[in-house]
Amino acid sequence: MINIQNESSLHNTLKLYYANRNSGLTEVEKEGHIYDIVGKDGQIIEIQTKNLSALENKIKDTLEKKYKITVVYPLVITNWIYLTDEEGKLVSKRKSPKKGNIYDIFDELTKIYPYLLHKNFTLEVVHIEMIEHRIKTSDAVQSKNKKRRYKKNWIKVNKRLDKILKTDVFKTKKDYLSFLPSSLPETFCAKDLSKYLKAAPSLPARISTKAHLIIWVLVRMNLIVQTEVKNKSRYYKINR
């Protein structure tokens, strides 16, 4: 029987991958924190598979102590769901209809935006294909985190890395402003941004609903500034 207490291997795999790439040590205690990786040059690397806001205080303290820190966030582009029985025999395999997009990162930036442009901070978004392992149960059960609205006849036991597709690095103003379509008017409101995002052939239609969130983050990063209010809409321009 598979041990349902196993932690996700996604984090561990990425930790070993980045440690090897940076000739670093893992699980290093330093300045009151335990860091995932400390490279041979002193570079600190944290792997966070979800909820970047949980790193807010750690990032703040690390930067205040004048260390360089890179946060690695895996963005799941494709999720394969493997369902097995309790003995490990594969019952089914399917691709989840949910597909990640780089704009989804804005959901993770609402707490850490003050540090995104700090000279010693780097955000790496790793686009991945992931395998989610579920075990079929005889009875409907609650999830381990108790967040299911309705019980289901399976339980998630592991997430593991299947493939790294590419990596986006965010560090400069230009990197974050690249989220604004180049065809956007010089002054724009949330409706304008939503319209241009929706029209972009490379983006799923759902991304257009993030216009207000994108503006919220970019305003607080001082990358765009409000110019006027017209017809109850706030208009903005890039802060050059």
Residue-level pLDDT at 30? 92
pLDDT at 139: 86
Q: How far apart are CA 181 and CA 78, in angstroms?
A: 25
pLDDT tens for 97-139 read: 999 999 999 999 999 999 999 999 999 999 999 999 999 998 8
Predicted confidence (pLDDT) per residue in 203-240, tens digit: 999 999 999 999 999 999 999 999 999 999 999 999 98
Instruction: Report the DSSP pairing between strands 69-84 and 90-95.
Output: antiparallel
Select from 136, 148, 14, 20 the least CA-distant residue to 75. Answer: 14
**167-208 confidence digits (pLDDT tens):** 999 999 999 999 999 999 999 999 999 999 999 999 999 999
Q: How far is CA 185 from the centre of its chain?
A: 28
Percent of the chain at pLDDT exceeding 90: 85
Task: Grade residue 24 by pLDDT with cuts at 50, 70 and 90.
Answer: very high
56/159 Cα distance (integer angstroms): 24
Smallest CA-to-CA distance from 67 within 109, 94, 35 is with: 35
Contact 34, 92 (CB under 8 A): no
pLDDT at residue 2, rounded to an integer: 29
